[in-house]
Amino acid sequence: MKKLFSSQDAFEMQAVRSELDALSIPYMVKNEFAGGAIGELPWQDSQQEVWLIDDSWYARASKVIEAIVHKSRNTNNSSEDWRCNACGEENGSAFDVCWQCGAEK
């Protein structure tokens, strides 16, 4: 088994798990329910971690992680409004989907 990913961001963790599930990449989550022990345990020992069950998936799983982290960083740093390519509607920077037609950013 090989550690693949850990994060304090619950949304990022769920995005990783969802992508791995969609691609049928076998993994397990360590410390999934240890959040309540923070304070009793050091935060490092209670942080959720995604581990690969089969190391032969590491190359593909790493690409999934890189894409999610890259998208997360670019989305969080984007503070500019954007115009929808599908309908031309102006959308605020907080939106990843056009509020008018539903097209993705």
Domain membership of residue 53 (yes or no) is: yes
Domain membership of residue 92 (yes or no) is: no
Domain membership of residue 97 (yes or no) is: no
Q: For 33, which DSSP code?
A: T
Average predicted confidence (pLDDT) for the chain: 84
Q: Which pLDDT value is given to residue 61? A: 94
Whether 84 and 100 have beta carbons less than 8 Å apart is answered as yes
32-64 pLDDT per residue, tens: 776 665 667 666 676 889 999 999 999 999 999
pTM for this prediction: 0.60
Residue 67 has pLDDT above 70, yes or no: yes
Domain membership of residue 98 (yes or no) is: no
Number of domain units in the chain: 1
Domain membership of residue 68 (yes or no) is: yes
* Domain carrying residue 28: 2-78
Q: What is the arithmetic mean of pLDDT over 99-103?
A: 89
Residue 94 CB coordination number (10 Å): 9
Top-confidence residue, 7 or 37: 7
Whether 48 and 30 have beta carbons less than 8 Å apart is answered as yes
Q: Which pLDDT value is given to residue 39? A: 63
Please report, for the domain that includes residue 48, its CATH number: 3.30.70
How far does CA 66 lie from the centroid of its chain? 10
Q: Which pLDDT value is given to residue 93? A: 81
Torsion sign across C-alpha atoms 48, 51, 57, 59:
positive
